[in-house]
Structure formats: C-alpha cells, structure tokens
Amino acid sequence: MRAALEVIAERGYRGASLAAVAERVGLTQQGLLHHFPTKEALLVAVLRDRDRWDAMPAGRLRLDLLASLVEYNAMRPAIIQTFSALLGESVTEGHPARAYFTERYTGVRAALAEVLRAEYGDRLPSGLTPERAAPLLVAVLDGLQYQWLLDPESVDMASAFRDFLTLLGENTG
Amino acid sequence: MRAALEVIAERGYRGASLAAVAERVGLTQQGLLHHFPTKEALLVAVLRDRDRWDAMPAGRLRLDLLASLVEYNAMRPAIIQTFSALLGESVTEGHPARAYFTERYTGVRAALAEVLRAEYGDRLPSGLTPERAAPLLVAVLDGLQYQWLLDPESVDMASAFRDFLTLLGENTG
C-alpha cells in the first residue's frame, strides 16, 4: 500500500503503473498481479486503506474535527488528488471503483447525519433534518477539493469549509 | 459535437472512441484527427459547446434559475457524467482538460459572486461576502452531481440544492 501511494504521489494516477509499483516493492509484475489484478483494484485497496486510517471510532467524530481533517487534507494533495480522480472515473458505467464509492457515500452520509444529530438534535437551526443536511456536507467536502486541486492559490479549502459550517450552525430559518 | 455527445451518451466516457465518433459523422478516423488530435481534445470541445448553450447573458442569471438548471441537469445524466468524469481526470498532472477547468472555475466563481451580490448586496444574511459564498455554491453543485450519479435513487440533487439555497438565504448569523 505504501509503495503504491508513493508511486501515485510521484507520478499521478494516470502515470502510476503496476510495473512501477512492482519495481518499488521488489516483486515481479506477475507477482503483484497475483494480489491486485488491475491498477484500479490496487487503487481501491489504497483508498480502503486510507479509510481505515482516517476512520474515527463511532460517536467520536465531531464537526470541528471534520474542519481539522480538511486542514490536514490540504497538506496531502497526493492522496486527495488520487481520491478525486478516481471518484470522477467511478461515475462511468462499469468502473471497478463504482461500487466502492456508492457504498462509501451511503456510509458517509449516514455517519455525518449522526454527527449533525449529536450537535443539533433532530433539526438544525435552519429547520433541515440531519439527513437532508448530510449530502450537502459531503458535496461541499468533495466539491471544494476539486476547486482547490485545480487552483490552490485561489481556493482556501479549509477556510471555505469553516464558512460552510458557520452557515449550517448559525442559521435561524 | 452532436455525434460526439451521442457516442458518449451511449458508451460512456471511457467507452467513447474517436473511431466511433468518426464513423457516426461519416469521416475517416484520419479526417476526424485533423480536427481533434485526441479524444480529450474532442471532449473539451463538447464541454465548451455545452458551456455556450448553457450560458445566460450577463446579469440575467438568478439563484432561482440556477435551481431550475439543476433540475434540468437531473434529466440529462449523459452530459453530467461526461463533465464529472472529465473534471475528475483533470486534476491529475498534465491533463489536457486541466487548463479548461481551472479557467472555467475562475469564471464561474466570479459570475456566481455577481449573482449573489445582485441578490443580497455586499453581505449575505450570514455575513459571508459574495466572494466567500461563491466557491461553496460551486462545490455544492459539483459535489451533489457525484453523489447523484453514483446513487440516483438515494440522492435528490434538485431538492438538496434548494436546501442549500435556503441555507444561504435565510441565515441571520
């Protein structure tokens, strides 16, 4: 996993080949193919590995920790770029990462609805339910990443995300 | 352009080949390559063409028209899928669509800041300036598209976007 991430960080998603990863870990390409039959399968494994590291114990995540996570993400463009590029490809028919992302987003929306419920109860100050606010929270996280990756000088992802949290929390409908 | 969009709609971005587009318009692949040297160049041309059709005269766009545009987008998954897949790829180093998207987002943020200024003046009800709210508006538009493309049964893109407009407008800080 670490070798794969290093190769992706150096060459980008399009440039990262299974051959380069195999060389880095001292396997033949045949040997690597035994574990990961395709480049996409390897990338999905890297993403699942990232999820495992980023995961917080249920009930421990809070909105302010989410803001800190965005700040942390702004310091690791390589994995965010990999994630964003693969999310983009995943919406095409039959993509090997599609099931991973569909399942992941279902879980992330549910987890964030719980975070919002812990913070605000069954209604946010705006009147939105946690379940209706959660997809917006996910959309802002993903959407800001694209704008930031394309133009890091113009887009301050962390402070824009804090602006959104202010919108969510201060609204009085 | 129309032939390219048809082929993309039928086969998805990954499946759309220059050969298939050439066949559709009755050109040799060599003849098509004269106009579009790569598949990405053809796709960027399709996206620019879409921008031209969707563009509203300056000063005519309003937030409620933006909500209608999201409803309209929910009826044309093919072009939204193409756009989202290409946005994803564009964040990788040296991608031929990167300049298009970087430039497009600079323009879109500026245009939406003007829309917000026309609606709310120099401060939104939340206290955000139009320039700080614009990247959030763009992020929600893009981010909801990914969730909707992955799971159209679970994500109602148009009503989620209206929820976000309510957040932007009703906030009293």
Contacts of B133 in chain A (CB under 8 A): 163
Structure tokens at A133: 């606010």
Least Cα distance to B80 among B18, B148, B165, B15 occurs for: B148
Structure tokens at B47: 């996206």
- Could you tell me the residue range of the domain that residue A69 belongs to? 57-173
CATH number, domain containing residue B39: 1.10.10.60
Query: Is there a single domain that holds both residue A79 and residue A156?
Result: yes
Query: Is there a single domain that holds both residue B37 and residue B107?
Result: no
| B16 at A interface, C-beta within 8 A | no
Specify the residue for token string 């990167």. B98
Q: ipTM of this model?
A: 0.87
Rounded CA gap, A76 and A9, in Å? 9
Distance from CA of B7 to the nearest CA of A (A): 14
Specify the residue for token string 């098509």. B32
Query: Is there a single domain that holds both residue A63 and residue A110?
Result: yes
Query: Is there a single domain that holds both residue A86 and residue A14?
Result: no
Query: Is there a single domain that holds both residue B94 and residue B143?
Result: yes
Query: Is there a single domain that holds both residue B60 and residue B105?
Result: yes
Q: Tens of pLDDT along B87-138?
A: 988 888 777 788 889 999 999 999 999 999 999 999 998 889 999 999 999 9
Rounded CA gap, A18 and A21, in Å? 5
Query: Is there a single domain that holds both residue B60 and residue B24?
Result: no
| B90 at A interface, C-beta within 8 A | yes
Yes or no, beta carbons of A146 and B146 under 8 Å apart: no
Query: Is there a single domain that holds both residue A72 and residue A84?
Result: yes
| A106 at B interface, C-beta within 8 A | yes
- pLDDT above 70 (res A164): yes
Residue A134 three-state SS: helix
Angle between helices B130-150 and B63-73 (to 10 degrees): 20
CATH number, domain containing residue B74: 1.10.357
Domain count for chain A, please give it.
2
What does the mean pLDDT of chain B come to?
Answer: 87
- pLDDT above 60 (res B7): yes
Query: Is there a single domain that holds both residue B71 and residue B115?
Result: yes
Rounded CA gap, A155 and A146, in Å? 10
**Cβ contacts of residue A32 below 8 Å, gap of 6+?**
A18, A21, A22, A25, A42
Distance from CA of B5 to the nearest CA of A (A): 14
| Tally of CB atoms within 10 A around A71 | 13
Rounded CA gap, A20 and A4, in Å? 9
Q: Tens of pLDDT along A79-124?
A: 898 889 889 888 887 777 888 899 999 999 999 999 999 999 999 9
Query: Is there a single domain that holds both residue B25 and residue B106?
Result: no
Query: Is there a single domain that holds both residue B99 and residue B28?
Result: no
Helix (H) / strand (E) containing B61: none
Query: Is there a single domain that holds both residue A42 and residue A90?
Result: no
Domain boundary among B54, B70, B99: B54
Residues B124, A128, A98, A40, CA torsion sign: positive
Rounded CA gap, A14 and B68, in Å? 36
| A162 at B interface, C-beta within 8 A | no
* Residue A168 one-letter amino acid: L
Q: Tens of pLDDT along B20-76?
A: 989 998 999 999 999 888 888 888 888 788 777 666 666 678 888 899 999 999 998
